[in-house]
Structure 1
């Protein structure tokens, strides 16, 4: 039989050895007087087997949770019948060790704190088949009898709650959501919001933590501040407007192994959006064109100001600065930002990812309203999204009053004005009238109402400059309503012959007048000079000496030929506004 470490059991073994010693001693004695015979009557006068001792004994308390039950008999027993006669209440699983004189019952798991009773009925027989004389029973207590029957309970469940300012300043207070409705719980206090659970008894820490569950589920760190107080810190802040339910099952038990009688469940509402990120300012350079180019424009906030004079460039480009209330996730936040009309550029984060500067690749377009959208996928570094999408806008350079247009058209020889505005003729006219052909206050007449004199008489020869010298009767003057950007406007100007046979016409030269000497510069009157390959200058080819005239027809035949001059919408003014519509004007050459 294996040894059992227990003070009661050790005492019992000592007693058993003492009795065995005296029995052997008496039987070995040759003196068989009546007194010695009386000492052995407990063996010889009653043939029913007896229990010498049971451990634990009746009323034993404060026993360990691994306590064994040991029963010793006064004679060899039918151990199989005795095991069948043994029971323990409350019922527990275990295994037996035995020999002819003893049974040892060992629990398979640690006993819970409380009172147990074990019983051996009379069906336990000796090897001779005699039943146990009396039913044997004993009760014992694992742990203190005064606490073994007390059920552990949850005293409170608390979470930080208050205003956004209180939550962020860590001055929010703990509110018990087990005993009251909490609808203003912080998302964090300030970064995380702890849940405190208070019990009425010292708890088994591992079993209690395993019995706690949350809905929605969350990962967290569990810290026992004391044997009765558990502090739970989530790995991430609570989601705004989320209801958090905390459940503790009856698997929670105190340090003596006594389980909670009923499960506990309580919830709270995360109603304070103190960690929801927001745009605190959206800054843009604003000022006059001169201020913007000089880099002295002021910064204005699109969140609070209606901007209608955003710099086109300060000086090369106009950065847009986003400031957020919390550190942001750069990838998600950049992906959520859009600008319409679309702008390409570079993004640079700073200030612990709370500041984003977007620098466009090129200047903005004058008069265009740009719309900035920050989508709801923009989120903080701890993955909290903004509460909703936000839209802001501004106008670059100033509101547009009118797009550029052609105000007047004529030829240089007419005395057509070389500055804005030009004056046209109601009836049209030829290359010698004292005004332009047309201005924007007049209707456009038929092509034959406007005639010009081509400068190439057909008398030129290869290598000769005859007919190559410029004649101003076929130099066209275009007057615009706005100051124009020179390059785009010249490139947008074309002349072609409408009447057959077709010819090859190219721009030979041009000049500008009515120009402003301050930024953004630009001019309003353009004089363009064309030539035809089919003319006689340089032997019917574009030569190195230059050709500045069109082919002269001398009205043969009448009404022939027609030419069309056009300026398309790729022409832009100095504010980068395109021509309002393509300008077309038809004339007859003489």
Structure 2
């Protein structure tokens, strides 16, 4: 406090706060000046100033001037001055210029500025990044190209300052490019932890700036802005397919439900179960929890088939169960697309494809391996043997097999069974004979229905006749799944045969199981062609690649 004494009529400052030399004052410090006479207070306001210039509010009366700063002082030294133009109400000037200096805050840091001493992120290999305590690297002193996406979920950025910082001002000084949402946490007055809301994108570069808006607790701002960057080069949180399994094994094992799991990510599978026993679930195991809807929509199957997706509660395992058994011998391709994504929106690094063969590889489409008639020594099991010279209905072998050239139709002869004398079921003409019962031996085990429906016999020589399949039997069948047979025996009848009259299945004869015999008529010896068209399929659902045609002469 200052006191001025004198006997003249000039007004004097009786006291002032802060006094000259006051230190460590608060940033909101008021200035108060007391006079010994009533003053023209407006003149005093015009005569008052603060350096450095400071805006504020005045609280006035005849004997005092009070100044309150409108914003907090910065830390440092301030000087306030009242000139002699401050007058009393009698019109007398202030006797002497009044001035005083004071210090806001501590002067120990005078002449220095706060600094960022380090900015650290976690970096290293995927295994290191996913460990409990991955190492931190200072991006201000090191070139960081292997920063973690997260450790294991978020890669915290830690900033260390040279001294205690104003928390609000410092946070407002920090910017990122590209921008992302973060949570700030002060571990101490000098250490700030920044946690991104989501992991960093793989292969992105993160730029960080701390501007000079950052200031310490005394209000001293950073003199130089700080900038740093790092490359997110470790894909430790990129999702991957850890396994993709289907049941595999022999047909018998699969049918019994004891097929073993095979992993398509590590193994080539050519014997996947068609169903074990009713279906074969395809199981996707991911390294991280996945977004269900987007992941399902980016998984494809070719050839396509319907099924049901089911997720595990932790969103790590997806099971796809086909609605029906897979087709034997078909190679199925599974595509996992680029937009398969985790629950925290991280996509796979690249699309991938996998494939497997259901049931086992199929070497070729089915075809006829041999052809003959039942009266020959033609095999009843695969394979059949033909003759290079052809043969008749009494030969010791089939007419032909697929190792031989096909001869002219007259090289292959058969004897039709209906001699034209039939009148009742007891006549010889109406009894089935084996010399016109044809035998087809297939290379593959055949689907019974499609194979029978694909066979046709027709007379090529005039006059034309109507030929119908009367009955058929199969031999050389496999008892295990997928079943099927390889040898087909066929009995045909012609409408024109004597046992039928004008209709097939004559009630009086019990129907006809023979073709019309022609060796005892003047019409000559007609040709017949047996055909198997491409609608015939084997048990693996493979069709004939082309029609099979074989022509013979009826003797």
Q: Which position in structure 2 is the counterpart of 1:29?
A: none
Q: Deviations over 1:367-418 (max 9, x none)?
A: 4433333233223332222222333333333333333210122343455443
Is residue 454–residue 549 contact of structure 1 (8 Å, CA) maintained in 2? no
2:210 to 244, 248, 254: 248
Is residue 559–residue 588 contact of structure 1 (8 Å, CA) maintained in 2? no
Is residue 365–residue 577 contact of structure 1 (8 Å, CA) maintained in 2? no
More helix by share: 1
The offset of 1:233, in angstroms, is: 1.9
Q: Which position in structure 2 is the counterpart of 1:139?
A: 101
Rounded to whole Å, the distance in 2 between the matches of 1:90 and 1:506 is: 118
SS at match of 1:208: helix
Gaps of 5+ in 1: 1-7, 20-38
2:162 to 188, 197, 200: 200
SS at match of 1:313: coil
Q: Which position in structure 2 is the counterpart of 1:356?
A: 318
The offset of 1:296, in angstroms, is: 3.2
1:20-419 pair list within 5 angstroms: 41-43=7-9, 46=10, 49-127=11-89, 131-147=93-109, 150-350=112-312, 352-414=314-376, 416-419=378-381
| Structure 1 residues 317 and 78: alpha-carbon distance in aligned structure 2, compared to 1, 3 A threshold | same
Q: Which position in structure 2 is the counterpart of 1:585?
A: 550
The offset of 1:223, in angstroms, is: 1.6
Rounded to whole Å, the distance in 2 between the matches of 1:250 and 1:386 is: 40
Is residue 390–residue 411 contact of structure 2 (8 Å, CA) maintained in 1? yes
Is residue 425–residue 435 contact of structure 1 (8 Å, CA) maintained in 2? yes
Rounded to whole Å, the distance in 2 between the matches of 1:516 and 1:231 is: 72
The answer to which of 68-77 and 499-508 deviates more is: 499-508
1:434-513 pair list within 5 angstroms: 435-444=397-406, 470-495=432-457, 506-513=468-475
| Structure 1 residues 214 and 72: alpha-carbon distance in aligned structure 2, compared to 1, 3 A threshold | same
Rounded to whole Å, the distance in 2 between the matches of 1:464 and 1:506 is: 18
Q: Is 1:568 matched with 2:533?
A: yes
The offset of 1:506, in angstroms, is: 4.8
The offset of 1:589, in angstroms, is: 6.5
Rounded to whole Å, the distance in 2 between the matches of 1:103 and 1:559 is: 145
Is residue 178–residue 207 contact of structure 2 (8 Å, CA) maintained in 1? yes
Rounded to whole Å, the distance in 2 between the matches of 1:488 and 1:521 is: 14
The answer to which of 102-111 and 533-542 deviates more is: 533-542
| Structure 1 residues 442 and 559: alpha-carbon distance in aligned structure 2, compared to 1, 3 A threshold | farther
Q: Deviations over 1:240-270 (max 9, x none)?
A: 2322222222222222333222222222222
| Structure 1 residues 440 and 548: alpha-carbon distance in aligned structure 2, compared to 1, 3 A threshold | farther
The offset of 1:499, in angstroms, is: 7.5
Is residue 241–residue 270 contact of structure 1 (8 Å, CA) maintained in 2? yes
Is residue 286–residue 309 contact of structure 1 (8 Å, CA) maintained in 2? yes
Is residue 302–residue 332 contact of structure 2 (8 Å, CA) maintained in 1? yes
Rounded to whole Å, the distance in 2 between the matches of 1:566 and 1:142 is: 111
The answer to which of 73-82 and 210-219 deviates more is: 73-82
Is residue 332–residue 356 contact of structure 2 (8 Å, CA) maintained in 1? yes
Rounded to whole Å, the distance in 2 between the matches of 1:105 and 1:494 is: 117
Number of residue pairs the alignment of both structures matches: 551
TM-score (norm 1): 0.80
Q: Deviations over 1:122-159 (max 9, x none)?
A: 44445565544443322222223334665322222122
Rounded to whole Å, the distance in 2 between the matches of 1:500 and 1:465 is: 30
Rounded to whole Å, the distance in 2 between the matches of 1:500 and 1:51 is: 146
| Structure 1 residues 589 and 57: alpha-carbon distance in aligned structure 2, compared to 1, 3 A threshold | farther
Rounded to whole Å, the distance in 2 between the matches of 1:144 and 1:575 is: 91
1:514 to 465, 476, 491: 476
Gaps of 5+ in 2: none
Larger Rg: 1
Rounded to whole Å, the distance in 2 between the matches of 1:465 and 1:376 is: 76
Is residue 378–residue 385 contact of structure 1 (8 Å, CA) maintained in 2? yes
SS at match of 1:584: strand
Q: Deviations over 1:202-228 (max 9, x none)?
A: 222222222222222222222212222
Is residue 529–residue 548 contact of structure 1 (8 Å, CA) maintained in 2? no
TM-score (norm 2): 0.84
Rounded to whole Å, the distance in 1 between the matches of 2:338 and 2:99 is: 73
| Structure 1 residues 69 and 441: alpha-carbon distance in aligned structure 2, compared to 1, 3 A threshold | same
